[in-house]
Structure 1
Amino acid sequence: MQLAVQLALLLVPLAASAHESRPAYLALQETTPGQFSVLWRTPVLAGMRLPVILQLPDRVKNLKDPVVSELADSLVERRWVDAGPGGLAGERIQFGGLQLTITDVLVRVQMRDGTVSTTLVTPSRPWIEIAAAPGLLAVAGAYVLHGIEHILFGFDHLLFVLALILIVRSRRILLWTITAFTFAHSITLSLATLGVVHVPGPPVEAMIALSIALLACEIVRMQHGHLSLTSRWPWIVAFTFGLLHGFGFASALTEIGLPQADIPLALFSFNIGVEIGQLIFIGVVLGVLACAKRISVPAMITRGALPIANYAIGSVAAFWFIERLAGFAS
């Protein structure tokens, strides 16, 4: 009987862990270079703690004694550790005993540069390897792609560039106009992202739509033979509106986030990506226009194509302006 009781007592923790499906949780936050605050939470069922042991690398040392708190459904342990100059990059953290359970471990790692990663560790692979910090080339490549994606999927910015193409007939002046637009939005993008200037996002988005509608109006004026500031000095208008569009780019970049250790590189790479995306779009538009000139199309169709395109741009921009204006006004 005594043997049966002892055996039953030994089986209780195993039974608790076998039926425990709530995940354990590990949070690592780098506070200073190489030093981390650690939060380790393990579930408790029927008064028994999940038999999973957090195993940090051997060279990691405690800065002070751990603090353990008992909650109704879990046991929370807080540590403050020093991983040395190299930090935890490339190191493996193991969870002893996890393979004997059906429980997962949710791991969240936040580095000093602002990067955050979340990983789910399963019993079949009871360890996690902390990813090394990305190199300069990796950071540059990632933000160049972000810039390309943003401009190619930012339809309001593309419509603005398309309107500039329809206004400027000279390729040389178009080059200067697009350069002025790029230079202007690079200025406000940098200032807004670095926190030097703060402009609310919704009004900026509404004004971007209005800038497209104004360009559409200028195209109509040019078709009727009226000269204006836009037709004479398009790069001045492109620069002015480019300052506005830069704030729109900044809101997108803020959502992506910037690596704190490589902010200048990330900003420069994002701008390069935006410029590449613009050049791709301009190349496609000019290619389509060149092909259209080589194809014998009835004159009536060619005369009507530009007004239709212009009114389509203006109508979409006006809709966006009203929609965005109503959005932040309410």
Structure 2
Amino acid sequence: MSLWRLLFGVVVAAVAFVSSAVAHEIRPAYLQIDEMAAKRYKVVWRTPMLSGMRLPIVLRFPESVRNVTGPAERDLPDSLVQTRVIETDGGGLAGERVEFVGLQATITDVLVRVHLLDGTVETTMIHPSEPWIDFAATRSPLAAARVYFVSGFQHILLGIDHLLFVFGLLFIVRSRWMLVKTITAFTVAHSITLAVATLGKVEIPALPLNAMIALSILFLGPEIVRVWRGQTSFTIRHPWIVSFAFGLLHGFGFASGLTSLGLPQGDIPFALLMFNLGVEAGQLAFVGLILLMIAALKSIEIRLPRGLELMPAYVVGMLGAYWTVDRIVVMFGGVA
């Protein structure tokens, strides 16, 4: 158990230095291009907002492209949407490059979806390291599957609050079988709410949701202390039930990474499946890494003072409390 405590202390101490902004999901930008007629396209360009400011990413088309209609802007709570119609010379966008100026200075990706008249749908993810897209290559359905899978994988690995909750659960379970039940319950629960939220069946406002997710982390702190003190509670006896309940909540948080893209309804089932598989792969990779680290260190005997052994649980509680207060302040119009 001492190794668990030491590792937990190291990880939590590192998380303590992460700003509250990192605890919020990083939402990608979204570009949709629909071919309306030969050489004519409808363009929808959606850029996320960060702390009330639009990310400084500018869409740049080649010189052969001209606007048929000027950009019509629409403000959303978490993004700014521009819609326009463009025309091209020559053979349309085939062989052309569209650049995302300023993307290289951010940590934001861009999901690009192109729908052509012949029914071809191309989906790709653009990263800051290569802030452009070339329309020469034809992408297969496997490429689109990879885009959504990787997006889900990255979403959970960048979701510090989600990972901290899963990590805290590991210190409440007392057997391998209970660990399997607890992680499975969390997976089933957030898969359910991820699906219903993405399909538009249920919707929870983002600000209250973020506050409740932070509160779930705060909840774990006292429970971990009880475990270390040899006490018991409903959570300690039945961690899989608590995991399922809070998993429903976290699933709505995962859904924000997909619904914020504004995908067409026809694309959502396939995107949902691959995104969810990516989330599960990321979660299992995280849990597996922690268990491997414990196995690698099991031969080391380290004894810490009682105060230091209990400190990680209090740090988890304080992080959960800080994020809860911070998000409540934001929810009621304060400054983050």
* TM tier, smaller: 0.5 to 0.7
Q: Deviation of residue 151 (structure 1)?
A: 1.2
Q: Supply the distance in 1 between the matched residues of 2:286 and 2:32 (Cα, whole angstroms).
A: 43
The question of 1:149 aligning with 2:154 is answered yes
Q: Supply the distance in 2 between the matched residues of 1:293 and 1:110 (Cα, whole angstroms).
A: 48
8 Å contact from structure 1 (residues 114, 259) kept in 2: no
RCO greater where, 1 or 2, for CA within 8 Å and sep 6 or more?
2
Q: Supply the distance in 2 between the matched residues of 1:304 and 1:68 (Cα, whole angstroms).
A: 66
Which of 208, 225, 232 does residue 230 from structure 2 map onto?
Answer: 225
Deviation per residue, 1:209-259 (Å, 9 max, x gap): 100111112122233333222111111111110110011111122334546
Q: Deviation of residue 261 (structure 1)?
A: 4.6
8 Å contact from structure 2 (residues 214, 324) kept in 1: yes
8 Å contact from structure 2 (residues 125, 147) kept in 1: no
The question of 1:30 aligning with 2:42 is answered no
How many residues end up aligned between the 2 structures? 244
Q: Deviation of residue 145 (structure 1)?
A: 1.2
Q: Deviation of residue 164 (structure 1)?
A: 0.4
The question of 1:263 aligning with 2:268 is answered yes
Which of 234, 250, 265 does residue 255 from structure 2 map onto?
Answer: 250
Q: Supply the distance in 2 between the matched residues of 1:283 and 1:197 (Cα, whole angstroms).
A: 32
Counterpart of 2:310 in structure 1 is 307
8 Å contact from structure 2 (residues 208, 328) kept in 1: yes
The one-letter code of the counterpart of 1:243 is L
Classify 1:133/1:326 alpha carbon distance in 2 versus 1 (closer, same or farther; 3 Å).
farther
Q: Supply the distance in 2 between the matched residues of 1:196 and 1:222 (Cα, whole angstroms).
A: 38
SS in 2 for 1:166: coil
Q: Deviation of residue 140 (structure 1)?
A: 1.5
The question of 1:159 aligning with 2:194 is answered no
TM-score, normalised via structure 2 length? 0.61
Classify 1:320/1:204 alpha carbon distance in 2 versus 1 (closer, same or farther; 3 Å).
same
Spell out the pairing of 1:6-25 with structure 2 (5 A cutoff).
none
Q: Deviation of residue 165 (structure 1)?
A: 0.2
SS in 1 for 2:245: helix
The question of 1:173 aligning with 2:178 is answered yes
Which of 258, 279, 283 does residue 278 from structure 1 map onto?
Answer: 283
The question of 1:320 aligning with 2:336 is answered no
State the Cα RMSD in Å: 3.9
Q: Supply the distance in 2 between the matched residues of 1:218 and 1:138 (Cα, whole angstroms).
A: 43
Classify 1:154/1:93 alpha carbon distance in 2 versus 1 (closer, same or farther; 3 Å).
closer
Q: Supply the distance in 1 between the matched residues of 2:63 and 2:254 (Cα, whole angstroms).
A: 46
SS in 1 for 2:165: helix
8 Å contact from structure 1 (residues 204, 248) kept in 2: yes
8 Å contact from structure 1 (residues 29, 36) kept in 2: no
Q: Supply the distance in 2 between the matched residues of 1:155 and 1:216 (Cα, whole angstroms).
A: 16
SS in 1 for 2:139: coil
Q: Supply the distance in 2 between the matched residues of 1:285 and 1:116 (Cα, whole angstroms).
A: 31
Deviation per residue, 1:68-119 (Å, 9 max, x gap): 99xxxxxxxx8999xxxxx968x4579xxxxxxxxxxxxxx9744696999x
Q: Supply the distance in 1 between the matched residues of 2:207 and 2:122 (Cα, whole angstroms).
A: 26
SS in 1 for 2:298: helix
Structure 1: unaligned runs, 5 residues or longer = 1-26, 40-51, 56-66, 70-77, 82-86, 95-108, 119-127
Identity of matched residues, %: 46
The question of 1:200 aligning with 2:205 is answered yes
Q: Deviation of residue 288 (structure 1)?
A: 2.7
Range 132-141 or range 150-159, more displaced: 132-141
Q: Which has the larger radius of gyration?
A: 1
SS in 1 for 2:236: helix
Which of 211, 215, 220 does residue 210 from structure 1 map onto?
Answer: 215
Classify 1:237/1:132 alpha carbon distance in 2 versus 1 (closer, same or farther; 3 Å).
same
8 Å contact from structure 1 (residues 168, 174) kept in 2: yes
8 Å contact from structure 2 (residues 196, 202) kept in 1: yes
8 Å contact from structure 1 (residues 221, 227) kept in 2: yes
Q: Supply the distance in 2 between the matched residues of 1:167 and 1:209 (Cα, whole angstroms).
A: 18
Q: Deviation of residue 131 (structure 1)?
A: 4.7
Classify 1:263/1:216 alpha carbon distance in 2 versus 1 (closer, same or farther; 3 Å).
same
SS in 2 for 1:30: strand
Counterpart of 1:289 in structure 2 is 294
Classify 1:36/1:261 alpha carbon distance in 2 versus 1 (closer, same or farther; 3 Å).
farther
Spell out the pairing of 1:88-99 with structure 2 (5 A cutoff).
91-92=94-95
Classify 1:110/1:183 alpha carbon distance in 2 versus 1 (closer, same or farther; 3 Å).
closer
8 Å contact from structure 2 (residues 122, 140) kept in 1: no
The one-letter code of the counterpart of 1:156 is D
Larger fraction in helix = 1
